[in-house]
Amino acid sequence: MKTVKDFDIEDKRVVMRCDFNVPLGNKGILDDFRVRKTLPTIQYLSEHKAKVILISHLGRPEGREMKFSLKPVAERLEELLGRQIEFLNDCIGDEIDRKIADMKPGEIVLLENLRFYKEEKEADPSFIKKLAELGDIFIQDAFGVSHRAHASVTGVPEHLPSGIGFLVEEELKILSKVIDNPERPLAAIIGGAKINTKVKLIERFLRDVDNLLLGGKTANIVLDAKGISVGRSAPAPDIAQLVENLDFTSPKLHLPVDVIAVNDSARQAFCGDIKEEELVLDIGPETIDDFSKIISQAKTIIWNGPLGKFEDEEYSQGTRKIIEAILASPAFSVVGGGETAELVNRLGLADKFGYVSTGGGAMLKFLSGEKLPGIEAIEN
């Protein structure tokens, strides 16, 4: 598979797919982690005299919703790169074509949110063609959306010579190593919700890792399937069906032995004494101790998803204690998932882990052994 270094990019229009899907607040970008991870590829392209055309999506707008504009990202890029980034208020059209035609080597522009057009998610052929006509070369550096068969991800590479950027190259190298050739023991920690995206990953981990630790809503669903009461945290029938074929007898599988739960009076309770009206919000102290011991013996750790309602300080202890255990371990640790990466960045701990992935769903699919359409498009 070609990388950005395999192309003669001087004076060429290079369309670079980025993942600038960053959290926004009233004062702008809350976490610029994904923006910073694209800088090496952007700098390489500009320094080698390419005409750099950055494209991305942000959020899930319904049409042209300006609260999802990429303009704040352009402003942050200017701060990080210390140079001018021209922001264009659309991603296709005659005005965009004229602006790009006037670009000089080394200049950088950022186009407006691709998802302002429904044709992006629909992978509409005419929209793909218009995007492809913007450039001479396509560079995929948006690992976080490489599991999506969208116009800018799988469509444009069909029309242009294509390769991957430094970020995608790094993601593939590190994630391949930790799942295919890790130092053992290998421990995987899976939390959060969205069990539908994690069933295949759990199945693979039960085969390939040495210890699989489950927390959060994911653990609640498995506990419920084992016949252990989780009160109001019990999943709906269609969700419960997703895990019915998992091997619950595997000695590799480790589930919470106690939890923090609340009722309307905010009373704490422990697993085994969970009543129908109680809601599980965190793992308990015994589980923290058990999980921490396993983590301390690991040589490689993969973590995706919080182990409780971490956004609430009162129920963040489980996740925080597991973070402490991972950082105290000598193991090489890989962290991934939108919520998880956002949490470690907010705590200022990202550089303490071995690697923090920019991918959520893409990381899960890759580690599950599934093909990523955005990567296949480049390979083909």
Say yes or no: 224 and 129 in one domain.
no
- How far apart are the C-alpha atoms of 185 and 210, rounded to whole Å? 6
Say yes or no: 115 and 20 in one domain.
yes
Say yes or no: 151 and 188 in one domain.
no
The number of residues making up the chain comes to: 380
Which of 189, 210, 174 is closest to 326 using CA atoms?
189
Domain end call among 167, 191, 207: 167
Say yes or no: 160 and 222 in one domain.
no
Q: Beta strand 24-25 with 13-17: parallel, antiparallel or unpaired? A: unpaired
Start-to-end Cα distance in the chain: 9
Say yes or no: 223 and 343 in one domain.
yes
The residues annotated as belonging to the active site are: 34, 194, 338, 361
CA angle, residues 366, 367, 371, in degrees to nearest 5: 30
Q: Which domain holds residue 230?
A: 182-368
- How far apart are the C-alpha atoms of 238 and 317, rounded to whole Å? 30
Q: Which ranges constitute the DSSP H helices of 272-372? A: 285-296, 317-328, 338-346, 361-368
Say yes or no: 96 and 209 in one domain.
no
Say yes or no: 152 and 197 in one domain.
no
Residue 380: its pLDDT value, please? 86
Contact between 167 and 20 (Cβ < 8 Å):
no
Say yes or no: 74 and 118 in one domain.
yes
Residue 276: its pLDDT value, please? 77
Say yes or no: 30 and 113 in one domain.
yes
Identify residue 108 by its one-letter amino acid code: I
Residue 63: its pLDDT value, please? 94
Residue 116: its pLDDT value, please? 98
Domain end call among 114, 138, 167: 167
Number of domains in the chain: 2
Residue 380 included in any domain: no
Say yes or no: 66 and 206 in one domain.
no
CATH of the domain at 77: 3.40.50.1260
Give the global pTM. Answer: 0.91
Say yes or no: 121 and 214 in one domain.
no
Domain end call among 134, 167, 200: 167
State phi, psi for 269 to the nearest 5 degrees.
-145, 170
- Find out whether the peptide bond into 185 is cis, omega within 30 degrees of 0: yes
| 248 Cα distance to chain centroid | 27
- How far apart are the C-alpha atoms of 294 and 313, rounded to whole Å? 25
Residue 188: its pLDDT value, please? 95
Q: Using the 8-state DSSP alphabet, how is residue 255 labeled?
A: -
- How far apart are the C-alpha atoms of 67 and 191, rounded to whole Å? 30
Q: Which residues of the chain have pLDDT under 50?
A: none
Say yes or no: 146 and 217 in one domain.
no
Residue 273: its pLDDT value, please? 64
